[in-house]
Amino acid sequence: MNNTFLMACRGEKTDYTPVWIMRQAGRYLPEYRKVRQKVDFLTLCKTPELAAEVTLQPVNILKVDAAILFSDILIPVEAMGMKLEFSESKGPILYNPIRDEASLLMLRGLNPEEDVPFVADAIKLVRQQLDVPLIGFSGAPFTLATYMIEGGGTKNFINSKKMMYQNPALFHKLMDRLTEAVIRYVQAQIDAGVDAIQIFDSWVGSLSPLDFNIYALPYVQKIVAAVKTKLPIIYFAFNSSAMLPLVKQSGADVIGLDWRIEAADAVKALGTGCSIQGNMDPCILFGTRTLIKELVSHVLKSCEGARGHIFNLGHGILPETPVDNAVAMVEAVHELSSKVR
Ligand code: CP3
């Protein structure tokens, strides 16, 4: 197996900078759209043969250095008893959002072997056909909690923050339940054969540093402590560059960065106790090949002081992205970083 990605996670020297792309299996690929014509998104997540097929697509097409399991952060939330729907126009919808003690009591504990067996089955199928590491993942408790409290996406997180400020005990109870579920969910993925774990905290950037410290960080620390001894863990806290010293306290092996910070400044804030992942603006992939190569070169140079660097975009690749440009980015990372190192 090509272990470059895992070596960079651990901060070991590599021959070139490994690269993968968040949301690399998705609608920008015609091959993905072809599979999606036949089934809806949730059916795709729950059919191991199809989930495995689309997990492998970007590895073969883009030549990235890691695969990420095709699934969604809301799969375990549905398994805990919430009705989930993906609407083409509105994104995810969770019915009967958690707003009080009674709705919290309706939630079931997660038993991955029984509730989401298709996740382990997909991992086992992918592992048989893959010669790069496979990344498993989960949403972080805070991000999952906001979906469960809001009932879907939100601009200002009013219902979540109302609960935090009006009934903090209830919010913490929900976070405890989610932390337990995430640890079980991640452990099931490890048992099935993933090589690393990424924790997505997409909405934690809505919090002040003070509140991040109270309402999100302790729970991520618990998850990281449970996983870190087993395999590398990446913490991607989107929109959190103003609080990187706190994000670092998660204890994760790798900290994911979005594009709103110069990577060299992030390295200064994070130190050399962790590796970094990122951080090109996904919209650069709408530029010319020359621009893409220039920006890849810039990011590589900006990350030179890091303990280890895994190249990625600063958030998921957008559905409108030309595939050729994604391929050009991966090629540029491999070519330019081989010269640097
Ligand atoms: O990265 C990968 O290739 C692995 C698969 C993956 C998906 N979602 C597939 C997906 C992963 C790791 C996720 C994580 C996820 N899901 C996050 C965290 C990352 C982030 O973007 O911040 C979040 C917030 C979600 C919730 C979610 N799922 C939303 C908001 C949406 C709708 C938005 C959209 O792009 O349509 C989804 C749907 C979703 N998840 C799609 C894919 C490929 C599109 C579904 C389709 O095919 O119609």
- For residue range 321-330, list pLDDT tens digits in order: 999 999 999 9
| pLDDT above 80: residue 65 | yes
Q: Is the CB of 26 under 6 A from ligand 1?
A: yes
What domains, with CATH codes, occur in the chain? 4-340 (3.20.20.210)
- End-to-end, the C-alpha distance of the chain in Å comes to 21
Q: Is the CB of 314 under 6 A from ligand 1?
A: no
Q: What value does the mean pLDDT of the chain take?
A: 97
Catalytic residue among 15, 95, 127, 147: 147
23 CA → ligand 1 middle, Å? 7
Q: Of ligand 1's atoms, which has the minimum distance to the CA of residue 139?
A: 18
pLDDT at 144: 98
| pLDDT above 90: residue 143 | yes
Residue-wise pLDDT tens digits, 146-198: 999 999 999 999 999 999 999 999 999 999 999 999 999 999 999 999 999 99
pLDDT at 88: 87
pLDDT at 331: 98
Q: Which of 29, 72, 143 to mutate to test the pocket of ligand 1 (most atoms within 8 A of CB)?
A: 72
Q: Is the CB of 73 under 6 A from ligand 1?
A: yes
pLDDT at 45: 98
| pLDDT above 60: residue 341 | no
CA-based nearest residue to 173, from 139, 227, 219, 115? 219
CB count within 10 Å of CB 226 equals 16
- Residue nearest atom 3 of ligand 1, based on CA coordinates: 23
HSE-up of residue 256 (Cα within 13 Å, Cβ side): 24
Q: Of ligand 1's atoms, which has the minimum distance to the CA of residue 198?
A: 12
Residue-wise pLDDT tens digits, 274-318: 999 999 999 999 999 999 999 999 999 999 999 999 999 999 999
191 is annotated as an active-site residue: no
23 is annotated as an active-site residue: yes
Determine the average pLDDT of the residues in 52-77. 98
Determine the average pLDDT of the residues in 1-13. 97
Residue-wise pLDDT tens digits, 230-270: 999 999 999 999 999 999 999 999 999 999 999 999 999 99
CA-based nearest residue to 94, from 171, 155, 148? 148
DSSP calls for 216-245: IHHHHHHHHHHHTTTS-EEEEETT-GGGHH
Q: Is the CB of 57 under 6 A from ligand 1?
A: no
Query: CA angle 134-56-78, nearest 5°?
Result: 70
Asked if residue 17 lies in contact with residue 333, where contact means CB atoms within 8 angstroms, the answer is: yes
Q: Which of 42, 73, 123 to mutate to test the pocket of ligand 1 (most atoms within 8 A of CB)?
A: 73
36 is annotated as an active-site residue: yes
Q: Is the CB of 289 under 6 A from ligand 1?
A: no
pLDDT at 340: 55
Catalytic residue among 23, 99, 127, 289: 23
CB count within 10 Å of CB 23 equals 17
